[in-house]
Structure 1
Amino acid sequence: MALSPPASAGLKTALALGALLLAQSLAAAPRVITLAPSLAEIMVELDSADLVVGVLDSGVRPSVLLDRPSVGRHAQLELESLLSLKPDLVLLWPDSISRSQREQLEGLGIPLYVAEPHDLDQLAGQFREIAVQLGRAEAGERLSARFTQGLADLRQRYARREPVTVFYQVWHEPLFTLGGQQIVSDALRVCGARNVFADLSLPAPQVSVEAVLARDPQVILGGSDAQLEPWQQWSTLQAVRKRQLWEVPDKGLERPSFQMLGALEKLCAVLHEAR
C-alpha cells in the first residue's frame, strides 16, 4: 500500500531525526585516557569503561581495565604511548604528571578535563561534568544524585555528635599532613571531626612534630602506608594518652570517586568509636 503524503513526510522526519541522534551518539563516544586511579574508577562507575583506551598506572586498576594499554606510571607519562592511542579526551589529576608534560599535552591540543575537587560536593558535580564530556549525561546525573543522597544521610547521622580534633598523617619522614582545601578534610567534617591543620592552604603540607604537639589532636589517623608507632613516645598528646591512633579503615578514602562514599562511612564509624 502506498503511503499518503502526510504519513510519508512523517516517516522521513522520523528517519532524519533517528539518523541525527545516531550521529550525535557516535560523535559523543570519545577515546578516553585516564591519568589517575580515581579517574579510572569514575569511568567504571559511569558505566563507561568501554571508552577507556589507556591508563596511567599509579595504583590498583579496576579489574575491567586490566587489559588496557599503559601510558606510563605516576609522574612518568610516556607521551608517545599516549599519542599512539589517539585519545579524544584525557582525564587528568593535576599531580599525576609533571607540569612540563601537562603543558605538552595542552600544546598538542588534546582536550583535557582537570579533576581536582576540594570537597565532596564538588566531587558530586565532577561526576556530572565528566559524563557530559562522554556524551552520557544521564549516567552522571544518576551517579551524582546517589552520591549526594549518601552524603546527606551521613551528615544527618553525625551532625549532633561530639566534635573531635584529628591529625591526619599522610607520611612520617618527613611528616606530611592534609590542608583544609584537600577533600579528605571535608570528609572529616562530614563525620563531625576537624582537621587540626585545616587552616593550611597547601593540599599536603609538611609539618613538624612540634606543630602537632602544639595542636594536641584527640585522634591521629594514618593514611596509606603512614607509620604511627613513633607517636607513642609523645605521651603528652591526647591521642596517645587515650590510645586513639588509628589506621584509615579504607584506602579508598584517598581516591576521589564514588567508592569514596563507602570508605567515608567506615571512617565515620572509626571516629565515632574514638569518641
Structure 2
Amino acid sequence: MRWLVAIICLAGSPAWAQAPQRVVTVNLCLDQIALRLAAPGQLVGLSYLSHDPRLSVLADRARAIAPVRAKVESILELRPDLVILDRDAHANLKRLVRKAGVPILEVPWASSLEDAEGLIARIGAALGREAESRAIIADMQEQRRQLSRPGPPTALAATLQANRGTAGKGSLMDELLHLSGYRNLAAELGIPAYGRLALESVLAGRPDLLVLDGSANANPARATEFVDHNALLALAGSTRLVSIPLKYTVCAGPENIEALKLLRETRR
C-alpha cells in the first residue's frame, strides 16, 4: 500500500488508506481504461463521450454509468471519493474539486502503446485493481508480439481523417503502421503527430495502403467528404484501402489491438 500512497502524493492529491468506492473520470481515454479495471459499482461517472459508439469501444458498458461533463457540479453530485483527470487539462476544475475535499489522481496523456500500459498500471494501482491491470498489460503485449511484422517497414501507408487531418510522426497511428510493416507517408513528408495531408500529396505519394474511417461520411459533411472523393479513384488498382473505425485509434489502449488486426490483414 505504501507505493499506492506514493503515487497519489506525487500527483498532488491526498492519500487514502483503502481503494476508492466512488470513482469519476471525465476524459474519454481514461474512461476506457477505468471501465476495464474498475470493480462492479466502483465507477459512478464517466465522460458523456464514452456513451458514443463512434468514439467508445465500450459504449454499451458505459451507458450503465452516469454521463459526466467537465463541470464541478456534475462531478460533485455523484459524491466521488476519487476523480481521475488528465494532468494537462481542467486546471480550474481540479482546483474546485480539491476545494470540495475530493481526492484527485492526475495522469499524463498516453500517445503510445507503452504509455498506455503505464497508464493502465497507474490507474489499476489507484483503484486497488493491480491484478486486473497486470492481466490487461500482459494481454496487450502478447497480442502486439503476435500481430507485429518483423523487420523494418517496407510498404508505404497514408492516413486521412476529418478535415484532411492525418497522423504524422510520433503519433499513435504512426506506431501502429510501423508495427504492421508500413512506412508513414505523413511522417516522411515531415508532418507532425497531428497535421494535415492534402489529397494531392496522397496521389503523388502513391501509397500501398490508404487508411481511413469508411463510416466517417455516413452523415455527409464537408469535414468528411474526402471518404467519397472522386480523386481517390485514381489510386484504384495500386493502393489498398482499409477502414479503421476512429474508436480503435482515438485513444492508446487495448482497443489498438483491433486496429493492428485490420492492418495485418492488408499485408496478406
TM-score, length basis structure 1: 0.72
1:258 pairs with one of 225, 230, 254? 254
| Contact 1:250–1:266, Cα closer than 8 Å, also in 2 | no
Please report how far the alpha carbon of residue 178 of structure 1 lies from its aligned counterpart in structure 2 after TM superposition: 0.9
AA matched with 1:228:
V
Structure 1 residue 67 corresponds to structure 2 residue 64: yes
- Label 1:86 to 1:141 Cα distance change in 2 as closer, same or farther (>3 A): same
TM-score, length basis structure 2: 0.73
1:185 aligned counterpart, secondary structure? helix
* Structure 2 segments unaligned to the other structure (5+ residues): 1-14, 217-223
**1:100-136 deviations in Å (ceiling 9; x for gaps):** xx01123233514335222212212221111011122
1:124 pairs with one of 117, 125, 130? 117
**1:181-233 deviations in Å (ceiling 9; x for gaps):** 22121111111112212265744212333443443322111136154331536
- Tell me the equivalent position of 2:187: 198
2:95 aligned counterpart, secondary structure? helix
- Report the aligned-residue RMSD: 3.0
1:29 aligned counterpart, secondary structure? coil
Equivalent-residue separation in structure 1 for 2:44 and 2:193 (angstroms): 30
1:67 aligned counterpart, secondary structure? coil
Equivalent-residue separation in structure 2 for 1:92 and 1:186 (angstroms): 25
- Label 1:213 to 1:89 Cα distance change in 2 as closer, same or farther (>3 A): farther
- Tell me the equivalent position of 1:217: 207
2:126 pairs with one of 123, 128, 133? 133
AA matched with 1:259:
E
- Tell me the equivalent position of 1:86: 79
- Label 1:50 to 1:219 Cα distance change in 2 as closer, same or farther (>3 A): same
Single out whichever of 184-193 and 104-113 deviates more from structure 2: 104-113
Question: Percent same amino acid among aligned pairs?
Answer: 22
* Paired residues, number: 233
- Tell me the equivalent position of 1:187: 176
1:29 pairs with one of 13, 17, 20? 20
Equivalent-residue separation in structure 1 for 2:202 and 2:176 (angstroms): 20
Please report how far the alpha carbon of residue 272 of structure 1 lies from its aligned counterpart in structure 2 after TM superposition: 0.9
1:242 aligned counterpart, secondary structure? coil
* Greater C-alpha Rg: 1
| Contact 1:181–1:203, Cα closer than 8 Å, also in 2 | yes
- Tell me the equivalent position of 1:56: 47
AA matched with 2:238:
K
Please report how far the alpha carbon of residue 243 of structure 1 lies from its aligned counterpart in structure 2 after TM superposition: 4.3
AA matched with 2:208:
Q
| Contact 2:107–2:119, Cα closer than 8 Å, also in 1 | no
| Contact 2:87–2:106, Cα closer than 8 Å, also in 1 | no
* Structure 1 segments unaligned to the other structure (5+ residues): 1-23
Equivalent-residue separation in structure 1 for 2:227 and 2:77 (angstroms): 44
